[in-house]
Each structure stands twice: as structure tokens, then as C-alpha cells.
Amino acid sequence: MSGRRQYPFHLIEPKWQQHWDAQQTFRAWNPGEVLPQGHPFAQRYGFENKAVTAAQLPPKFYILDMFPYPSGAGLHVGHPEGYTATDILARYQRARGRHVLHPMGWDAFGLPAEQYAIKTGQHPRKTTEANITTFKRQIKSLGFSYDWTREVDTTDTNYFKWTQWIFLKLYNSYFDYFHNKAMPIELLKDAVSEIPKRQTEWANNDYLNSLRNVTRGESEDAIRRHIIDSRRLAFVTEAPVWWCEQLGTVLANEEVIDGKSEVGGFPVIRRPMRQWMLRITAYAERLLSDLDTIDWTDSLKEMQRNWIGKSEGAEVDFAVAASRQSAAETPIIRVFTTRPDTLFGATYMVLSPEHKLVAQITTPEQKKAVEDYKAFAAGKSDLERTELAKEKTGVFTGAYAINPVTDKQIPIWIADYVLASYGTGAIMAVPAHDERDFEFAKKFDLSIVQVVQPPDPKTDWQGFVDDGTAVNSASAELSLNGLPTQEAKKKITAWLESKGLGKKTINYKLRDWLFSRQRYWGEPFPIIWKRDAAGNLYHEALPESALPLLPPKLDDYKPTPDGQPPLARAQDWVNLPDGSTRETNTMPQWAGSCWYYLRYLDAKNPNAFVSPEAENYWMGKSSTLSSPLSTKSTTPGVDLYVGGTEHAVLHLLYARFWHKVLFDLGYVTTAEPFFKLVNQGIILGEDNQKMSKSRGNVVNPDEILVEYGADAFRLYEMFMGPLQDSKPWNTKGVEGVYRFLGRVWRMFIDEHSETEFEQAETTATDPQKHRELLNLLKLNPSIKDVQPTAAQLKTLHATIKKVTEDLDGMRFNTAISEMMVFVNEAIKWETKPASVLREFLILLAPFAPHVTEELWAKLNSSFVIRHSSLSFAEWPKHDPALLIEDTLEIPVQVNGKLRDVIKAPADADNATLEAAAQASEKVKPFIDGKTIKKIIVVPKKLINIVAV
């Protein structure tokens, strides 16, 4: 304990937390709900005992925290940073007259509970519930104004029923490229017969093209099914995926960092498996372009842009040169390039080792070398393949392609620096103007031909990758010579298109979202598998009425030895009477967090994931724009979303994707879920002198609360610095704001009565009675119901102005320092006007809600007040007239250097100020004997005399 307790927060804080709970003070109301008698919100707006419509309710403000994963370790000081910021703003917006939705919940599916289950046999539900209990107790002890009636838990059957329901929507939808939006799969069923007519529209789609092989020789029904299944937003594919042996599951691209699992850091390998995927790639362009409609930081938007990775270029077809023995069909190799202007410099080609044409084109002489290389590449981990500064490797296939503009034969190689998963899995190599191709060509002695002249003739053209002027780029039909890169691109692309050799193309790095996991503790897929007459396996969705689909009971949560998910152990559950079987994969943890912000709007609705009325009121209506292609919405959605940067790409991209699907299908009315988003910085460890960069998650808030209380903790979290910055935790710093709260307390409370209170507390035997002892405390006799002086009003209104502006700009640290300035000043007043102190309490209340409620109640017991509840008291407005100064102190500079500060009437004109400045005794020595060239007067601010 660091000295005497500043004020009895240990009694005040639980008292008010219980009061808020009992009164449901911070409950938010949906349109149509009846507001109870005596509720402070109902009282403020005159809604007591009334049902209110959306139009009657005050304008909404939806302020959202990223809900936590309730780990066994409990809360650390990093969690409450964002929560405190949003709570302050929630309370501020209530005061400003907004109807605030401020909910909290639990992202509770996850690996730790499952791994604990594997070790101990304890059901993950038990572990999860225990952790939630701890988290909830800790979060409640901080006095946040959450509406707990809307609490959600992603592992609750009443919640994941709707997660499964949304999956069915994805399953039963397809992406219509013509309308650029998701549509019900029924519409596609009608259109399947038209497929031949719409080939052009769909020619883009690899999965349709690949069907030609799959569907060969099958029945018409089977073909129809293949076509439909291949276009669903949730689809099954046999694809190489990241398999993590130690975790016993596959992982999404986003969960693999540097060739290791994000969770646990275990090695991962590529392995072909049958998996569920979500077609997020269809939304790449909208996910990219709609970033312009939302208010996120540039760095965050940039991370999403990079992840989506749009690049514009061209696809070019290269014919494989007819080989000695084969005759009829020469295959075509399609490449993607962002530099079609360098086509004349393409002196060889490279296929990824996995490219499907490799086996077909390889010559018998090279067969062994190629197969050896393929095995070598497949055996490499991702880390080995992408390791920095590694040597390029590759082998020649023996085959040649024909460069379509030079007509020359160029060798075809395979190399693992070409990725199967990007573009077409094949490149045209232009060694003169691409770093990687250049390196490769040097190593394997391939020819390097200049086709771009750098703008600066001194620059070496070898390895020059920037824009320049095309050279050596002419054939009988076409010349690019002399054209700047950008124009050369246009010209060659047009030429390729006219010849049917290629076309303008856009590529994205974004891959489809691998959506299945081999885990127990996740949402089961509402899918069953059947066989058709020919014995082919196919899938069907369960009807909505079958939801929620619960996971089976298990004794052993491990995956099966043959790599089947744990659910496969439950044979009774898997095998259905009609011979069909259940899907045994589960959904990834991201599924539940993709839409939780929507469930908060109507958390207990048993009939819908959210009612249209609730969605409309809290997310806002979209204005219907005339063009059906428009995906823009003019409305905000969540007004403010605060959380850590660790979710910059994963959660935030997935949630935007789901939201857009729900938007397309008409279930939500905004194209974007989170209008404004702010990332709080990381709190670093305390031992900063060792330059420790570790997160401050060793500091347990419980210990801080025991010693300083929740109000001081909240205040310190905000006072450390700007919300967005990372900063080191310093427990000593908590004492500073704690002392500030003590000063506030002493400003309001009579010292004598406090001594009595403290003595009574030490002698009172029954701790239950302690709280009643708070009644012994009396108001400070210096507080009187008097008219404030002009100076007092000025101090108050300057504080109102600054705190209001700072809250609007989320500058909590400077708002707090301004209130410190106020208290340092006001505590000296011999007579403290009750009206001034009352307004000050409203300003401080969002930051330190407990102590202000107690002081507010004390003040109310002696003076007439306007509102009975501080939580819904109206925010004060500053009066600019009160801030006007009669006399100003104006700095005087000579040649930009400060020489004096003079006093002048606020309305003094420039000539008066100039004269006064020159008359200053301190200024004179610096201008004597010099010529005054000019005098700059910034009214009310500054005078600068320029003298030489």
C-alpha cells in the first residue's frame, strides 16, 4: 500500500456498480420496447411507461469494442485500454443526447479450451464458462457502461444457430459477376440451361473451365449439380492447404506466418485435402474500393489493400512449339504480366513446378530432372521457399514456346520462384527488366535482351525495372519503340486483344478463404453428404429448421489417427439413418466474430439473427441509389469500433465480406459494417529501462484496482498518452491520477467529516455496515449556492470547451490534463459555487464515473439540481462570451526571437500594438541603431519586428 487511501473508492465503486446493475441504467432500447417507470433515460426523454418508435428515440450511437477471447489468464492491462476509451465516449454521447448502444460479449470458440480438453478430458464448454466468469467479473469491476442484457457468447447454441444460418446463406448463394453481387442460388438453377449462351460472361472463371474435365461422362443431373456447387459462395474443393501436424488441423493463409502457425508457431506443410472454402475473392474489388467510403486510418486501409493485392496487367498466350514426336495439339501457356510492354524482351518462360502442363510438355530427356525438381520443391516448407536472399533454383523442361511478337522459340523452365497460386502459375521471363528473372537468367545463362531504356542514360538497363522508353520492340506488324512505358502497355495490350493472343486483366493476391477446421470446439457445418445413383458423393444443406446443429458428445477430443476431425469419432452422430453422413469439419474461430456486432442489435431474438427494425434503427438505413451496380451506402453502420491492430486483415476483412453478402441478400442495409475504426496502441511492459518491448500483459488489473480503484485505473489508462500510440505501463503514473482524484474529493468533502468517517470505519465491526458510513461524509463548507464570479466562469468554460473538443477528437490525455488544471485552480477558491462544481462533475463523469456519482449525490442532497441521474445529465455547453479577455499578453519578437511580452487591451489596433512593442524597454536594445524593415502583427497573438 502506498500511503493513506485518498478517498473511500473501495466502498463507492461497488456501491455504484450495484446501483447501475439493479437499475439497468445503461440498457439500450429497441424500437417498440416499453421503457420502465423511473429509468433515467426514460425520465430524460419523457418515455416512462411508454413504447417508443424508432422515430421517437433520440439518434443512435453504436460504439463497439472488439470482444475478447476469454483466455484462462484473465484480463491484462491492454484489454481495458480500448474498453475505457469506448466507455468514456459512450457516457459522453449519452450526455450529448444520443441513444447509445454499447455492448460486450465473448469470442469464445478457440484452441486453448480444446487443447485443455485433450489433456484433461474437461469439456471445452466448462473451461470456457469458467473463463467467461472471470473476464466478466474483471470487466464489471471497471465500471463500464455496457448493456449486459445484450451480452453474446459465440459458443452459445442460441448464437451459433445463427452463425450456421449465415453459412447456409453463403452456401445457398452465388456471386453474379454481371450484377457484381451475391444472389440466391435458385436464380442460378434457372440459368444453368443458359450456360452455353453465357460462356463469354463466365469465361473468366477458372472453376467453370476446370469443370469441363470433371464433368466428362457424367449424367446431366450430376453436371448440373457440379455447375451449381462450383459457383456457391461456400464450396468444397480439393486443394493444397496448410496442414499443421502439431495442431492437427488445416489453417487459412492468414493464420500462417513465415511458414509457421500463428497459434503456437508450429511448422506447416502444403497438403491436398477436401476443404470448405468461402468465395471472398469474388468480393476483392468491392472490399478494395469500399475502403474509400469508410473512416479508418490510412495504415489500416493500406494493410487491407496490400492483402487484397490488386494488380493490373495482361494475360498473354504463348503457344508451345511443336515437339519432335507429338503432332496434333500444341498446348497454350497463359501467363499474367504487369509489364506487357516488355513482351519483346521475354527470352524464356517459367512454370511453377505444380503447373498442370508440366508433365505434358516435358521432353523424355528432361523427364527425370523435372520430376526430381518437383519432388525437391514439394518437400520444401514455405519458409524455405521464401527465405530471403536464397539462390534461385529450377530446371529446363526441354520444351520451347513461341514468343508471339518475336516469333522466336524460347525455352520453358520450371522454378519454385513462380507460385502456382498466383496469376496463372506461369510467367514470361523478361530478365532485363525484372529482378528475379534477371537473377535466374544470370545463374542459368539465359539470354538477356534490353527492351526498356531508362530515363537517365547513366542508369544501367540491366535489371532496370522502372518505367522508361521502349526499345528493340518492333516486328513487321507492330512497333513500340520510342513509347513511354505506360503508352507501350496500352498499345501492346490492344494489339494482343485484336489478335486474340491476350487481354487486359486484373489480378488479386487475395485467395479464397479456407473455412474448415479439424477441430471439436467450433460450429459444426449444417451439411450432410450423400451418394447419387452412380455412387458419386455430393453434399446437401440441412434445412434452417434443423438449426442449431449441436456438436456430438465426445470422450476424446483428439483428431482421429488418420487425420479425420474429432467429430468423426462420434459415429452415432455422423451416420444418419438414411445412409447419409454428416460433415465432420467445424468452422474457424473467425466465423462467430464475423457478425457478432449484428447480434448485439437484437441479441435475444429467437426468430431472426436480427430483426429488420433493430437493424434499421442501430445501423441506419441506406439510401437507395439508382444504379443497381452501386454498392455504396451513405449510412454509417457502427459509429465507432475500437480494437487492436492484430485484427487489421483477418477479422476485419472477413467481417466486411460477410456483411457485404448479407447486404447483397437484403438482410442488412449498409454496405460496410464499421464506419469508423480506431486501433488502440499496445501497452508495453513496465521495465522500460531494459528496453523491454514485451507487452504489458503481466500487469493484472485486479491488483491495481485494490490499491487505487477503478476510476484511477481508467484515468491512468487514458492519461498515458494518445490512444493510438503504444506506451509503457508505469504503476507510479497511476498514483498521479489517483492523487488528482483525491484532490477532487477534498474539493467537495468536508475534512472533519472525513476524519469522523475514517475513525468510524476502523472501529465498525460489521463490514456490511461500512457502506452506510458514507453518509457521515459532509459537503465541503466552502461550496455555496452563490453566483460564480466572472473569473470562475471563465475557468469553467475554458475547461468545458477543451474537454468537449478533446473528446470529439478522442484526445483523452489532454482532456484529463485540462481537468487537472481546473482543479488546481478551483481548489484554491475560498467560495466554490455549487453550479460550477456541478458542471465540472458532468465533465469528469465519463472518465471517473464512480466517484463523480457519489459526489453528485452529495451535492444533490444539499442543493437543488436539474437531473437526478448523472449518467444521463446533459453535457454542458461553453459560452464563448465568457472566455473573452479584456487584456492580452502579447509576445514581442525581434527577427523572430522573443524579447518581451507586453500587455495590451484586447481591442487594440495594429498601430497601437506596433508602437507599444517598439516602446518596450526590453525590445529597445535590439532595434536601436537598426532599420525597421517591417512589423508583423498577428492580432491578439504576436508582434514580430524585422530589423536590420
Partner RNA sequence: GCCGGUGUGGCGAAAUGGCAGACGCACAGGACUUAAAAUCCUGGGACCAUAAAAAGUCGUGUCGGUUCGAGUCCGACCACCGGCACCA
**Shortest separation between residue 101's beta carbon and RNA, angstroms:** 29
Does residue 496 bind RNA (CB under 7 A)? no
Q: Which amino acid is at 713?
A: F
C-beta of 454 vs 736, nearer to RNA: 736
C-beta of 218 vs 686, nearer to RNA: 686
- By CB under 7 A, name the one of 263, 483, 527, 648 that touches RNA: 648
Cβ–Cβ under 8 Å, residues 724 and 678: yes
Looking at residues 371 to 410 of the shown chain, list those that interact with RNA (rule: CB under 7 A): 385-386, 388, 390, 392
430 phi/psi in degrees, rounded to 5:
-120, 85
Which range of residues in 8-16, 77-85, 601-609, 719-727 is near RNA by CB under 7 A? 719-727
Q: Rounded to 5 degrees, what angle do the CA atoms 277, 280, 286 make?
A: 170
Cell numbers for 845, please give them: 463523469
C-beta of 272 vs 925, nearer to RNA: 925
Does residue 910 bind RNA (CB under 7 A)? no
User: What's the sign of the alpha-carbon dihedral 209, 210, 215, 221?
Assistant: negative
**Shortest separation between residue 83's beta carbon and RNA, angstroms:** 19
- By CB under 7 A, name the one of 30, 450, 893, 920 that touches RNA: 893
- By CB under 7 A, name the one of 190, 220, 292, 298 that touches RNA: 298
Q: Rounded to an integer, what distance in angstroms lies between the CA atom of residue 837 and that of residue 786?
A: 11
Cβ–Cβ under 8 Å, residues 629 and 663: no
C-beta of 221 vs 312, nearer to RNA: 312
Does residue 863 bind RNA (CB under 7 A)? no
User: C-alpha 174: how far from its chain's center?
Assistant: 26
User: What DSSP line would sit under 63-91, residue for residue?
Assistant: EEEPPPP--TT---TTHHHHHHHHHHHHH
Does residue 347 bind RNA (CB under 7 A)? no
Of 347, 467, 475, the C-alpha closest to 413 is 347
Which range of residues in 82-90, 112-120, 263-271, 295-303 is near RNA by CB under 7 A? 295-303
User: What's the sign of the alpha-carbon dihedral 68, 71, 75, 79?
Assistant: negative
**Shortest separation between residue 511's beta carbon and RNA, angstroms:** 8
- Please tell me whether residue 893 adopts helix, strand or coil conformation: strand
Does residue 727 bind RNA (CB under 7 A)? yes
Does residue 604 bind RNA (CB under 7 A)? no
C-beta of 39 vs 714, nearer to RNA: 714
Looking at residues 796 to 815 of the shown chain, list those that interact with RNA (rule: CB under 7 A): 811, 813-814
- By CB under 7 A, name the one of 190, 212, 941, 948 that touches RNA: 941
- By CB under 7 A, name the one of 720, 779, 855, 859 that touches RNA: 720
Q: How many residues form the binding site for RNA (CB under 7 A)?
A: 90
**Site pattern 607..626 for RNA (x: CB under 7 A):** --------------------
Q: Which residues of 149-185 are buried (b: 16+ CB within 10 A; e: fewer)?
A: ebbbbbbbeebbbbbbbbbbbbbbbbbbeeebbbbeb
User: C-alpha 521: how far from its chain's center?
Assistant: 24
The residues, any chain, with a CB within 8 Å of residue 291's CB and separated by 6 or more, are 301, 304, 305
Orientation angle between helical segments 650-664 and 298-308, nearest 10 degrees: 80
Q: Rounded to an integer, what distance in angstroms lies between the CA atom of residue 274 and that of residue 870?
A: 58
Cβ–Cβ under 8 Å, residues 147 and 159: no
Of 293, 304, 295, the C-alpha closest to 633 is 293
Q: Rounded to 5 degrees, what angle do the CA atoms 694, 684, 127 make?
A: 70
Cβ–Cβ under 8 Å, residues 417 and 387: no
- By CB under 7 A, name the one of 494, 706, 764, 936 that touches RNA: 936
- By CB under 7 A, name the one of 38, 272, 721, 781 that touches RNA: 721
Q: Rounded to 5 degrees, what angle do the CA atoms 515, 521, 523 make?
A: 50
Does residue 891 bind RNA (CB under 7 A)? yes
- By CB under 7 A, name the one of 226, 504, 530, 743 that touches RNA: 743
Which range of residues in 3-11, 37-45, 556-564, 605-613 is near RNA by CB under 7 A? 3-11
Looking at residues 409 to 428 of the shown chain, list those that interact with RNA (rule: CB under 7 A): 416-419, 422-427
C-beta of 2 vs 199, nearer to RNA: 2
Q: Which amino acid is at 865?
A: I
Q: What number of other Cβ atoms are within 10 A of residue 598's Cβ?
A: 27
Cell numbers for 560, please give them: 482421429
Q: Rounded to an integer, what distance in angstroms lies between the CA atom of residue 145 and that of residue 24?
A: 10
- By CB under 7 A, name the one of 220, 238, 886, 889 that touches RNA: 889
**Shortest separation between residue 706's beta carbon and RNA, angstroms:** 17
**Shortest separation between residue 232's beta carbon and RNA, angstroms:** 25
**Site pattern 249..268 for RNA (x: CB under 7 A):** --------x-----------
**Shortest separation between residue 326's beta carbon and RNA, angstroms:** 26
C-beta of 313 vs 411, nearer to RNA: 313
**Site pattern 301..340 for RNA (x: CB under 7 A):** -xx--xx-x-x-x---------------------xxxxx-
Does residue 921 bind RNA (CB under 7 A)? no
Q: Rounded to an integer, what distance in angstroms lies between the CA atom of residue 840 and that of residue 846?
A: 11
**Shortest separation between residue 712's beta carbon and RNA, angstroms:** 11
**Site pattern 661..700 for RNA (x: CB under 7 A):** ---------------------------x----x-------
C-beta of 344 vs 663, nearer to RNA: 344
Q: Rounded to an integer, what distance in angstroms lies between the CA atom of residue 361 and that of residue 356?
A: 10
For residue 913, the surrounding DSSP H or E stretch is helix 910-919
Identify each DSSP E strand in 406-559 by its residue range. 409-414, 426-429, 452-453, 469-470, 502-508, 513-514, 527-531, 537-541
**Shortest separation between residue 730's beta carbon and RNA, angstroms:** 6
Q: Rounded to an integer, what distance in angstroms lies between the CA atom of residue 790 and that of residue 884?
A: 11
Which range of residues in 81-89, 167-175, 229-237, 720-728 is near RNA by CB under 7 A? 720-728
C-beta of 311 vs 605, nearer to RNA: 311
**Shortest separation between residue 915's beta carbon and RNA, angstroms:** 18
Q: Ramachandran region of residue 927, left (φ > 0), alpha (ψ -120 to 50) or beta?
A: alpha
Does residue 740 bind RNA (CB under 7 A)? yes
Q: Rounded to an integer, what distance in angstroms lies between the CA atom of residue 164 and that of residue 859?
A: 53
**Site pattern 218..237 for RNA (x: CB under 7 A):** --------------------
- By CB under 7 A, name the one of 782, 824, 831, 861 that touches RNA: 824
- By CB under 7 A, name the one of 34, 332, 359, 901 that touches RNA: 901
C-beta of 619 vs 916, nearer to RNA: 916
Long-range own/partner contacts, residues 283-288 (CB < 8 A, 24 or more apart)? 283/175, 283/657, 283/660, 283/661, 284/308, 284/310, 284/508, 284/510, 285/180, 285/310, 285/506, 286/180, 286/631, 286/660, 286/671, 287/510, 287/653, 287/656, 287/657, 287/660
Looking at residues 537 to 596 of the shown chain, list those that interact with RNA (rule: CB under 7 A): none
Q: Is 264 exposed, middle or buried (0-12, 13-18, 19+ CB in 10 A)?
A: exposed
Looking at residues 43 to 102 of the shown chain, list those that interact with RNA (rule: CB under 7 A): none
C-beta of 14 vs 309, nearer to RNA: 309
C-beta of 343 vs 662, nearer to RNA: 343
- By CB under 7 A, name the one of 81, 899, 902, 916 that touches RNA: 899
Which range of residues in 2-10, 270-278, 279-287, 757-765 is near RNA by CB under 7 A? 2-10
Does residue 722 bind RNA (CB under 7 A)? yes
- By CB under 7 A, name the one of 24, 215, 895, 918 that touches RNA: 895
